[in-house]
Amino acid sequence: MKSKSARPLRRFWGWGLESDELLPTEIAIIQGMMARLGIARRTLPTPPTESEFSLPAPRITPPSSLEDTFSDTPHDRLSHAYGKSFADAVRMWNRDLPNPPDWVAFPPDEQAVIDILDWAGRENVAVVPYGGGSSVCGGVEPAVGSSYRATVSLDLERLNYVVEVDRASRSARIQAGILGPDLERDLRPHGLTLRHYPQSFQFSTLGGWIVTRAGGHYATLHTHIDEFVQSVRMITPAGVVETRRLPGSGAGPDPNQFIAGSEGVLGVVTEAWMRLQDRPTFRASASIRFSGFAAAVNCVRALAQSGLNPTNCRLLDPAEVAWTGVGDGRSPTLVLGFESADHELRPWMKRALELVRDFGGEYDTAAVERSMQAAASGADDEHRRGAAGAWRDAFIRMPYWRDPMVGAGAILDTFETAITWDRFDDFYGGVREDVEAAILQATGRPGSVSCRFTHVYPDGPAPYFTYSALGSPDGDLASSLAAWREIKLAANETVTGRGGTITHHHAVGRDHRSGYEHEAPPLFREALAAAKARLDPRGILNPGVLVDPVGRSVGITGALAPHNP
């Protein structure tokens, strides 16, 4: 048996299914990008195969009562050894696997989760909860330090049902292991949607979104999944924590928020009641060009502070426009959109475009009008055309394109943050400068750093930086990884040092832990460690992430571990 997973088999080494293929046009795009970066080879590299890895035998035997739940097939162990960050990809392409899980468990129900945690606690086995494995900060790598007997990756894929729908309160009870597309498929017959679309939607789960406080579809107002969590149920080694279903509550610190963002260190989220939306029927969108980035930023600030709350308000700086090939490939571009299930959006768009004109933004009036008419007639084509459509296509396909480029020697990575408006200008310039300098220092060659806003608030934007560099012209992936480490540490340092958050929505995991320690007040971290000690007294849950278990010093593990060369 290749895998005990019941899902279509995923590539263990990268993004997508084993059956996915690149289109010839995409291969040409990737080859063009490789040539521009200075990569010597012209053909795409051959992905790793399972037989190229020699996995050590599992260090422990699971209890016979749970035998069906556990898998040690090479495919399952390999596909749970890493998440999907640059460092994960490059280590896979380099056939470098320091921390494969001893076992992968696929519990069919909550009782099995409880049994696995009981067994792991007794046997000193570290348990790494696993949703879709799309973590880009080392959240699922079983790099747990040396004080555990073995590691188990606990995959929630069998908890994948929409269990109950409450139409009156527009909410549903949903199991944590469900993937984005399955969740939306099951809500559709009810005319409802969660409308949470991270870029990783296809391969990430409700439970993963909740515990990483993922950022989704809405650029303003309901930016994080937290807004949609009505109540949540979490299995911990000390018992079950289940919060009450309430539309709102002012009773003390919010237990939902305590669980959201816990990244698998406090317990295993098995299900949640989620607040849903009616499916939108009205839409309006516009692609706006600016002659300068400063005017564009001021315009976005005005929009964010206007109370119009656009659904989409993504500003691309000139480097990002060039990188994604959007619009004229030069001018800062704002992708602006509104949607509603209830009302026509002409007045909102009209007022937003007045603000846009105040800041010198230019757009195609006829295309905006067509977008509203297309939505009203049920035809969505207009929303798929133009700069917005081009950006969306690149957005969805980029993870597929990244893998072969990484295998050929490119460094391609992103980092994201948030900062108040008063500090944005200095921050943006300073971060770009520092990361460009780090790329030059680490690789000996200049790279490119671009930025877009993924989310915006009345008090500040969430800038999302993408950088590309030549790690190694001839595909020496150990050099790529070493250079990436230097750049990543510099990015963590400049973002937090200049007053931004270490993460707006990608989570802390292992790779952002030093930034989290810089950002979260020391006494708060002590309180969190004390809460962990109460819920996870033996410290078996996801060691290395967020805070050390009391009595064990795990520290920084994974891709940025200090002992790495």
CA dist 353 and 336 (Å) reads 10
CA dist 304 and 421 (Å) reads 11
Site for ligand FAD in 53-92 (CB under 6 A): 83-84
Single out the residue of 124, 67, 73 nearest to residue 100, CA to CA: 73
Which range binds ligand FAD by CB under 6 A, 142-150, 292-300, 499-507, 523-531?
A: 499-507
Q: Which is nearer to ligand FAD, 238 or 302 (CB)?
A: 238
263 binds ligand FAD (CB under 6 A): yes
Query: Binder to ligand FAD among 208, 404, 461, 475 (CB under 6 A)?
Result: 208
540 binds ligand FAD (CB under 6 A): no
Site for ligand FAD in 141-160 (CB under 6 A): 156
Task: Residue 424: count other Cβ atoms within 10 Å of its Cβ.
Answer: 19
Helix (H) or strand (E) holding 241: strand 239-242
Q: DSSP letters along 313-332, please? A: EEEE-HHHHHHHT-TTSSS-
- Minimum gap (Å) between residue 141 Cβ and ligand FAD: 9
Q: How many residues does the chain have?
A: 565
Q: Which is nearer to ligand FAD, 491 or 545 (CB)?
A: 545
Q: What is the total count of residues that contact ligand FAD (CB under 6 A)?
A: 38
Question: One symbol per residue from 171 to 200: x for binding ligand FAD (CB under 6 A), - otherwise; what is it?
Answer: -----x---------------------xxx
Whether 338 and 350 have beta carbons less than 8 Å apart is answered as no
3-state SS track over 480-524: HHHHHHHHHHHHHHHHHHCCCCCCCCCCCCCCCHHHHHHHCCHHH
Which range binds ligand FAD by CB under 6 A, 125-133, 273-281, 319-327, 528-536?
A: 125-133
506 binds ligand FAD (CB under 6 A): yes
- Minimum gap (Å) between residue 258 Cβ and ligand FAD: 13
At 507 the three-state DSSP class reads coil
Site for ligand FAD in 542-561 (CB under 6 A): 542, 545
Give the residue at shortest CB distance from ligand FAD.
208
Whether 235 and 136 have beta carbons less than 8 Å apart is answered as no
- Minimum gap (Å) between residue 47 Cβ and ligand FAD: 17
407 binds ligand FAD (CB under 6 A): no
Q: Which is nearer to ligand FAD, 176 or 299 (CB)?
A: 176
- Minimum gap (Å) between residue 180 Cβ and ligand FAD: 9
- Phi and psi, residue 518, nearest 5°: -70, -35
Tokens of 511: 């790779």
Angle between helices 477-497 and 86-93 (to 10 degrees): 170
At 39 the three-state DSSP class reads coil
333 binds ligand FAD (CB under 6 A): no
- Minimum gap (Å) between residue 137 Cβ and ligand FAD: 8
Tokens 């020697």 belong to which residue?
A: 409
- Minimum gap (Å) between residue 560 Cβ and ligand FAD: 15
Tokens 């291969």 belong to which residue?
A: 27
Name the CA dihedral angle for 83, 88, 93, 99, rounded to a multiple of 10 degrees: -80
CA dist 247 and 469 (Å) reads 47
Which range binds ligand FAD by CB under 6 A, 48-56, 264-272, 295-303, 314-322?
A: 264-272
Which range binds ligand FAD by CB under 6 A, 5-13, 49-57, 201-209, 359-367?
A: 201-209
Site for ligand FAD in 269-298 (CB under 6 A): 269
Q: Which is nearer to ligand FAD, 105 or 545 (CB)?
A: 545
| Amino acid at the residue 55 | L
Query: Binder to ligand FAD among 14, 62, 101, 132 (CB under 6 A)?
Result: 132
Cα–chain center distance at 5: 22
- Cα angle: 135, vertex 141, 146; to 5 degrees: 150
Question: One symbol per residue from 211 to 250: x for binding ligand FAD (CB under 6 A), - otherwise; what is it?
Answer: xx-xx-----------------------------------
- Minimum gap (Å) between residue 541 Cβ and ligand FAD: 8
Query: Binder to ligand FAD among 268, 276, 304, 352 (CB under 6 A)?
Result: 268
At 234 the three-state DSSP class reads strand
3-state SS track over 88-156: HHHHHHCCCCCCCCCEEECCCCHHHHHHHHHHHHHHCEEEEEECCCCCCCCCCCCCCCCCCCEEEEEEC
Q: Which is nearer to ligand FAD, 132 or 386 (CB)?
A: 132
Tokens of 499: 């007053």
Which range binds ligand FAD by CB under 6 A, 35-43, 117-125, 311-319, 503-511?
A: 503-511
Whether 179 and 205 have beta carbons less than 8 Å apart is answered as yes
Interface positions with ligand FAD (CB under 6 A):
83-84, 128-136, 139-140, 156, 176, 198-200, 204-205, 207-209, 211-212, 214-215, 263-264, 268-269, 399, 505-507, 509, 542, 545
